[in-house]
Structure 1
C-alpha cells in the first residue's frame, strides 16, 4: 500500500504543478488583459480595472513564489553542504 500512496502523491503534485501553475498563469494573463481596458470597434472605450490588474499581479506573484520554492527545494542539500544555509526546517528534509 505504501507504493500506491507514493504514486498517488506524485500524481497529485504533478497535476497541481504541471497543470495548475500554467492554469493560474493563464488566468492571470486573462485578468490582466481584461483589466487593461479596451477600445471597441464602435469607438467606445472601456476604462481600465485596477482590481483585475491587481488580481493578475497577485497570481503572477504566486506563480513566481512557487517556482522559487521549488528551485530552493531541489537545491536544499547543495545549499546546506556548500554554503551552510538551511532554507527549510529540519523536519522537511
Structure 2
C-alpha cells in the first residue's frame, strides 16, 4: 500500500505542475493580452483594461515564484552544504 500512495502523490504533483502551471501561464497570457487593448481585425479599437493586465502580471509572477521555489527545493542540499543556509525553510 505504501507504493500505491507514493505513486498517487507523484501523479498528483505531475498533474499540477505538468499541466496546471502551463495552464496558469496561458491564462496569464490571455488576461494580459485582453487587458492591453489595441486594434481589432475589423479596424475598431478597444481601450486598455488595467485590471486584466494586472491579473496577467500577477499570474506570471506566481508561475515564476513556483519555478524559483522548485529550483531552490531541488538544490536545497547543495545550498545547505556550501552556504549553511536553508533556502526553503517553509518546506519539509
Query: What range is the shorter-chain TM-score in?
Result: over 0.9
Q: TM (normalized to structure 2)?
A: 0.92
Does 1:86 pair with 2:86?
Answer: yes
d(CA) in 1 for partners of 2:41, 2:4: 56
**Number of matched residues?**
92
d(CA) in 1 for partners of 2:48, 2:67: 29
Shift of the alpha carbon at 1:42?
4.2
Moved runs in structure 1, 4+ residues, more than 4 A? Answer: none
Q: After TM superposition, list the pairs within 5 Å mapping 1:62-81 onto structure 2.
A: 62-81=62-81
Gaps of 5+ in 2: none
Q: TM (normalized to structure 1)?
A: 0.91
Residue equivalent to 2:52: 52
